[in-house]
Structure 1
Amino acid sequence: MASPLSETATEPLALTETFRQLPALFHENATPTPTKRPQLLRLNRALADDIGFDAGALTGPDGIATLAGNRTPADVTPLAMAYAGHQFGNLVPTLGDGRAVLLGERVDTAGVRRDIQLKGAGITPFSRTGDGRAALGPVLREYIVSEAMAGLGVPTTRALAATSTGENVLRPTPEPGAILTRVATSHIRVGTFEYAAKRGETEAVQALADYVIERHYPEIADAEAPYRALIEAVAERTGTLIANWLLVGFIHGVMNTDNVSIAGETLDYGPCAFMDTYDPATVYSSIDSGGRYAYNQQPRVGLWNLSRFAECLLPLLADDQDEAVSQAKEALDAYGNAFETAYHGGLVTKIGLAECHEGDVELASNLLQTMAEQSVDFTLGFRYLADAAHAVDSTNDTNVRALFADPTAFDGWATRWRERLATETRGFNARRNAMRAVNPAFIPRNHRVQQVIDAATNGDLEPLNELLAVVSQPFDDHPNRAHYAEPPAENEKITRTFCGT
């Protein structure tokens, strides 16, 4: 029998559905609830092209109706995915897509199968007491931040479109409703495995693992121990992903196991944020009162989440429980190795070193410590450091020094830094260009995102278009929009973000 993953979609709006062929406990039929007055707010034309969609068709009546949930694509039956999740460390055995509907899948122009999902499409069998809808603010936040992450080169789900519904939702006051069309290499989570494992459905766990291997990790299909290899592969991708988060100052905000993609993509942008002032203990999420998911806790939580994934696969590793646990622990070592390689390598690259020698990670860490003590803006600190590296002395240090409460604190570190730079042969221009290629000028700062949401709520989409223009190309200068790189003024600071449900 041919593999279901060998099918492709050829029509401009055609989709296929292979996830549905998994055991029935993983999904329920879910028809999007029609909206009253849908309006397309933003279409990601570049992404549409990459997926192989006809952008013109998507902006036409049938396309908008599909993006708004008023029309179901032919040949597929939309569904809501079932999953469990450890939320702030506590298991919730049944969660599932309470406000999202998977329309189907599409093989893109690079041959990668992608999920097409409507988020905010109405009540599903997993909605419980919710209305299944989404407010405009969270939809635009996810659109902006996910596209910023893509621009930064961090693996992420993507936003294909944002569509207003013409109806209000109550959150807790009336807000304009909207739907996000989200694209992912899949929406399978650690929590998807937990859903079957906690019910004792070992055969379903195995079927899901086989599907994940075929869809996401085909290189391990012929491994001697494929399920152990799956733990290693997921651990490696996740470790690299979280290292990349730290390197750009990103805080996910709600790293529950139901928000951890098995494909190693950033998934579910709720109370997320990018740091302004560098502080390792930074928390933005309004519901994270204990700081479980603080910036500096993300690596630890990543391993904790992966341990829950490995637990689900124990029956597939060995008949003997002790042997299975031993194999799982060894497989999880891939997480720490991948994280340290990506994070340490990224740090030394951010400070302009072409190679990592003994003492270089400590040198970069010392800069971070000084930045924390001196309340330095994380993004601009590294961006301006690239300019400082463009000279043999302190000639170009003015901008970066000005970020430090006591500029002499930078001077002391810079002396040691320049001594290390002097041991390398790379020229000034090459070093500066390399640093600017990993140290962005633009991130979606909280206050700018809120300004976009406020404007869009009043019918003005130009701020959205402008912010997306800079954060989707964050390493360029954009001189006409340089103000988007500036940190917030004191009265513009936003210290709490919300999940939007």
Structure 2
Amino acid sequence: MTLSVAFDNTYVRLPDRFFAPAIPEPAVSPRLVALNRPLAQELMLDPDALQSEQGLAMLSGNQIFEGSEPIAMAYAGHQFGNFVPQLGDGRAILLGEIIDRNGKRRDIQLKGAGRTAFSRRGDGRAALGPVLREYIVSEAMAALGVPTTRALAAVLTGSSVYRERVLPGAVITRVALSHVRVGTFQYFAARKDTEALGLLADHVIARLYPEAASEAVPALALFKAIATRQADLIARWINVGFIHGVMNTDNMAISGETIDYGPCAFMDAYDPSMVLSSIDQGGRYAYGNQPRIAQWNLARLAECLLPLIVPALGEKPAMDAVMEILNDYSSTFEQCYQNGLGEKLGLTEAQEGDLDLVKVWLEAMRTGNADFTLAFRRLADCAVASDADGALFDLFESRDAIAPWLDTWRHRLAGQQRSAEETRRAMRRINPAFIPRNHLLEEIIEAAIERDDFAPFDRLHQILSRPFEDQPDAERQAMPPKPHERVMATFCGT
């Protein structure tokens, strides 16, 4: 069985200062852990061929296929607010680009396949734990309807990596609309390379935002499109309780996809100040800070694009136009967020008083220490019958915090032009029963590392692929952790 991959690479046609050639380091004894067969079919790749010896050679980096032009991309970035002028793909290698069955261009990248020119003192490898985490969480995000990079495969390399202890090495094959980041623009802005900024902007417009090409100032239209897409993305994060954990500018994809699942997490009990990332000591990237940080990152992108905008408009008009877009980001985010929250609460259209309704609900969840995901899920049943209230009350430390609100909410629903059962079904379509909870991720990682047991990984992945369905045989996976199961810190994979 022969594996055919129709690579059609555009990024390597940019000048060589955009990247460095990179050849994956051979895996000693590759072993397939997971293959995303539906995604493979979407990419017009033969899943059976990917599982063959030849396919495994590609997914482990042991063989470079015809048409692949492997590179490590150059970029810079603000890391926790501090600018680093050169970062780049230190453990990721872009194999090339393909066109999927929907006509979209997709990057195929190996992460954890060895050193590149940007690895500095790193080994370029990935440990099994972070690979499993990224595979599970990115695919869960896709099932939840959140724009994200995807996981095509996970492979054990047969060699060890050295972190706090010796761990099995692994490689994940990541798929993205693009791996260009805010930090990619920063790399060239820091070098005052306006020519490269123009070439990069043209590349991104052609690939992701072709409508911007016909605007009077394409770079300004590009910035507006990126800001709009980021506002929608962050609103979706907030509405599923996701905490990225490390929102550095090199981790913000221009495509509007969630990228780089390092110390990420989903909230259990609702808390806007929640920080789980072990490296976020100051809480910069706390759950409730994410909208503001995205705007800060966009401001850094604006600084990079100004040299392309000013010649067309003049300095002051260019600054005014950019500031207007940054201000619009806030209103766009709020609109996306409130629309999403309204849907989660079963509201069909906005009415006066809805903002107060939402605020009281969120505050009740915070003070009542209620589980974010299950509170919304169980609320759906309360739309139909009050005998479902008990299951909701069980999530709160005191029913007094939520009982009066329920009466107000039901009165609000009664004025809508749909039945209670229709509202319940609509809410269950948007409020998941299952998310990749931290304690479950730790369990599957421990089973894989300590016992070479991937059955828990497979089981959790299968459950999370259907997050909005009732799965009676997976009741435990829907529940928040018990006190002794709580995970209070997540860690970066490097």
Report the TM-score when normalising by structure 2. 0.98
Matched, 1:139 2:108: no
Q: Which residue of 1 aligns with 2:347?
A: 353
Whole-angstrom distance in 1 between the partners of 2:65 and 2:327 = 43
Shift of 1:37: 0.5
Whole-angstrom distance in 1 between the partners of 2:162 and 2:430 = 41
Per-residue deviation, residues 393-426 of structure 1 (Å, max 9, x unmatched): x222111011110012110111211111111121
- For residue 73 of structure 2, the aligned residue among 81, 95, 99 is 81
Whole-angstrom distance in 1 between the partners of 2:46 and 2:442 = 31
Matched, 1:428 2:420: yes
Per-residue deviation, residues 304-342 of structure 1 (Å, max 9, x unmatched): 000000110101112333332212112223322321111
- For residue 406 of structure 1, the aligned residue among 394, 398, 406 is 398
Q: Which residue of 2 aligns with 1:207?
A: 199
Q: Which residue of 2 aligns with 1:491?
A: 484
Shift of 1:380: 0.3
Whole-angstrom distance in 1 between the partners of 2:121 and 2:204 = 31
Matched, 1:333 2:321: no
Shift of 1:15: 1.6
Q: Which residue of 1 aligns with 2:146?
A: 154
Q: Which residue of 1 aligns with 2:214?
A: 222
Whole-angstrom distance in 2 between the partners of 1:202 and 1:339 = 30
Three-state SS of the structure 1 residue aligned to 2:456 is helix
Q: Which residue of 2 aligns with 1:5?
A: none
Find runs of 4+ consecutive structure 1 residues off by over 3 angstroms: none
Three-state SS of the structure 2 residue aligned to 1:115 is strand
Per-residue deviation, residues 328-362 of structure 1 (Å, max 9, x unmatched): 11222332232111100011111111111121122
Shift of 1:200: 0.5
Whole-angstrom distance in 2 between the partners of 1:108 and 1:54 = 12
| Amino acid in structure 2 at the alignment position of 1:459 | D
1:8-157 aligned within 5 A: 12-157=4-149
| Amino acid in structure 2 at the alignment position of 1:490 | P
Q: Which residue of 2 aligns with 1:303?
A: 295
Whole-angstrom distance in 1 between the partners of 2:271 and 2:493 = 25
Three-state SS of the structure 2 residue aligned to 1:397 is helix
Q: Which residue of 2 aligns with 1:416?
A: 408
Q: Which residue of 2 aligns with 1:381?
A: 375
Three-state SS of the structure 1 residue aligned to 2:402 is helix
Q: Which runs of 5+ in 2 are unaligned?
A: none
- The root-mean-square deviation of aligned C-alpha atoms, in Å, is 1.1
Shift of 1:435: 0.2
| Amino acid in structure 1 at the alignment position of 2:389 | D
8 Å contact kept, 2:251–2:259: yes
8 Å contact kept, 1:347–1:361: no
Q: Which residue of 2 aligns with 1:4?
A: none
| Amino acid in structure 2 at the alignment position of 1:353 | L
8 Å contact kept, 1:14–1:73: no
Matched, 1:462 2:452: no
Shift of 1:481: 1.3
Whole-angstrom distance in 1 between the partners of 2:388 and 2:68 = 59
Per-residue deviation, residues 433-470 of structure 1 (Å, max 9, x unmatched): 10001100000000000111111112111111111111
Whole-angstrom distance in 2 between the partners of 1:333 and 1:16 = 38
Q: Which residue of 2 aligns with 1:480?
A: 473
8 Å contact kept, 2:126–2:161: yes
Whole-angstrom distance in 2 between the partners of 1:12 and 1:373 = 56
Identity in percent: 55
Whole-angstrom distance in 2 between the partners of 1:296 and 1:189 = 23
- For residue 344 of structure 1, the aligned residue among 335, 338, 348 is 338
Three-state SS of the structure 1 residue aligned to 2:430 is coil
- For residue 247 of structure 2, the aligned residue among 234, 243, 255 is 255
8 Å contact kept, 1:39–1:64: yes
Shift of 1:13: 2.1
Whole-angstrom distance in 2 between the partners of 1:57 and 1:14 = 14
Shift of 1:212: 0.5
Per-residue deviation, residues 97-125 of structure 1 (Å, max 9, x unmatched): 00000000110000000000000000000
Q: Which runs of 5+ in 1 are unaligned?
A: 1-10
8 Å contact kept, 1:229–1:331: no
- For residue 260 of structure 2, the aligned residue among 268, 286, 296 is 268
Of stretches 307-316 and 325-334 in structure 1, the one that deviates more from structure 2 is 325-334
| Amino acid in structure 2 at the alignment position of 1:279 | D
Three-state SS of the structure 2 residue aligned to 1:437 is helix
Q: Which residue of 2 aligns with 1:448?
A: 440
8 Å contact kept, 2:383–2:421: no
8 Å contact kept, 1:154–1:241: yes
Of stretches 142-151 and 14-23 in structure 1, the one that deviates more from structure 2 is 14-23
Whole-angstrom distance in 1 between the partners of 2:363 and 2:4 = 52
- For residue 388 of structure 2, the aligned residue among 386, 393, 396 is 396
Q: Which residue of 1 aligns with 2:232?
A: 240
8 Å contact kept, 2:344–2:427: yes
Whole-angstrom distance in 1 between the partners of 2:247 and 2:319 = 24
Whole-angstrom distance in 2 between the partners of 1:117 and 1:381 = 38
